[in-house]
Amino acid sequence: MEQNILSEKFINFAIKECKGSSQLYEYLSLKVAEDKEILKLASHAREGQPVPNLLFGAVHYLLLKGKTHNLKEFYPSITKKSRSVEESYAYFKDFCELYTDEVIPILKNKLVQTNEVRRCSYLFPTFKYIYDIVKKPLALIEIGTSAGLQLLWDKYGYSYETNEIYGDKNSEVHISSQIIGENPPFLHGGIPPVTSRIGIDLNIIDLTNNEDYLWLNALIWPNHNERRDLFKKAARYIRANPLTLIEGDGVKLLPELSKDISREYSICIFHTHVANQMPLDMKKRLLEQVKMIGADREIFHVYNNIQDRDLHLDYYIDGKEYANKVGKTDGHGRWFSWEL
């Protein structure tokens, strides 16, 4: 990848993703965008991957594994010391140069599979909305499932800037989020019944494997302690609840998987922040697969990063297509709007 394109990716990451969320990553991103040597290192990332996330994840991963370097003093996930981010870049660059031989294999072989539990804050009302349409148990199929944490959205508790808890009120995983705008979703009533949970990924993450667990932890930004706490708690739910996790191409597997699901259930295909890693032709094939299945039976598709960054809900009932925008969402689930 050309350096000017890579540089633009880091600038966009700083402005669109990090600003107001991670001062450290915002600052490092803007500095990397100007540094030809670190951009050359970042170019080892495999095609289609979000390069800034991958580079910062690789460095964080090595620090969490115990690499000795003063860079850790800027990472609240590792130390309680707090140093000014304006001092961080020289240490970051030195770390990258010192451990280049270990960073490169991570860039070449690892995938950005951030399993952001708090995105369930907007999946919960979306699946309630779906259930209210059809009143059938939901058969979940998640594309790009990573470790499957979002497949357990009905096992978590939710609050939206009030003291009222929705979902599973007794859950150890309590997700809080902000609903922006004047059109809140309907949150009252029971939890929609889920009959099956299937997750598909090119590389399934096994949270009983220490390396896999560490990698997902490394993808959580250093100052996001609440995200890290939610991840740890949700990981325990993975071990306690049966999931069907399949390694493979989710787009190709959809028709066969749908055939095995009884018509007594509603198929719900969903994925968040996955389609941005798909080439254009794969995005088109995915939409075509959903349409093909929808010609024969009801199916719901919840997604973002195909037409735009917003969350969408498309569905087919009796062969008729319905296309809706759910709303805008924060990448880490801190807030969302509701337009249904």
pLDDT digit string (tens) for 87-115?
A: 999 999 999 999 999 999 999 999 888 78
Show me where the domains of the chain are located.
3-109, 117-337
Q: Report the C-alpha gap between 213 and 12 in whole angstroms.
A: 28
- Nearest CA among 323, 326, 320 for reference residue 338: 326
Q: How far apart are the first and last CA of the chain?
A: 40
Q: What is the CA radius of gyration of the chain?
A: 20
Give the pLDDT score at 288. Answer: 96
Q: Angle at which helices 51-64 and 100-109 pack, to 10 degrees?
A: 130
The pLDDT score that the predictor gives to residue 264 is 96
- 28 by Cβ neighbours in 10 Å (0-12 / 13-18 / 19+) ranks as buried
* pTM attached to this predicted model: 0.85
- For 34-101, the DSSP string reads T-HHHHHHHTTSPTTS-HHHHHHHHHHHHHHTT---GGGGG-TTT-S----GGGHHHHHHHHHHHTHH
Residue 115 confidence (pLDDT): 80
Residue-level pLDDT, tens digit, the chain, 340 residues: 688 899 999 999 999 999 999 999 999 999 999 999 999 999 999 988 999 999 999 999 999 999 999 999 999 999 877 789 999 999 999 999 999 999 999 999 998 887 889 999 999 999 999 999 999 999 999 999 999 999 999 999 999 999 999 999 999 999 999 999 989 999 998 999 999 999 999 889 999 899 999 999 999 999 999 999 999 999 999 988 889 999 999 999 999 999 999 999 999 999 998 888 888 999 999 999 999 999 999 999 999 999 999 999 999 999 999 999 999 999 889 999 999 9
Asked if residues 301 and 314 have their Cβ atoms less than 8 Å apart, the reply is yes
> Which pair of structure tokens corresponds to residue 265?
């259930």
Report pLDDT digits (tens) over 7-60.
999 999 999 999 999 999 999 999 999 999 999 999 999 988 999 999 999 999
Other CB atoms within a 10 A radius of the CB of residue 48 amount to 13
Q: Which amino acid is at 310?
A: D
Say whether 158 sits in a helix, a strand or coil: strand
**Please, which residues have CB within 8 angstroms of residue 76's CB and are 6 or more apart in sequence?**
82, 222, 223, 225
Return the DSSP state at 117: G
**Helix (H), strand (E) at residue 186:** none
Max distance between CA atoms of the chain, in angstroms, equals 61
Beta bridge partners of 320: 317
Domain covering 117-337, topology: Rossmann fold (3.40.50)
Tell me which residue has tokens 């939901």.
Answer: 138
Separation between Cα atoms, residue 126 and residue 292, nearest integer Å = 23
What does the block give as tokens for 248? 């493979």
pLDDT at position 83 is 86
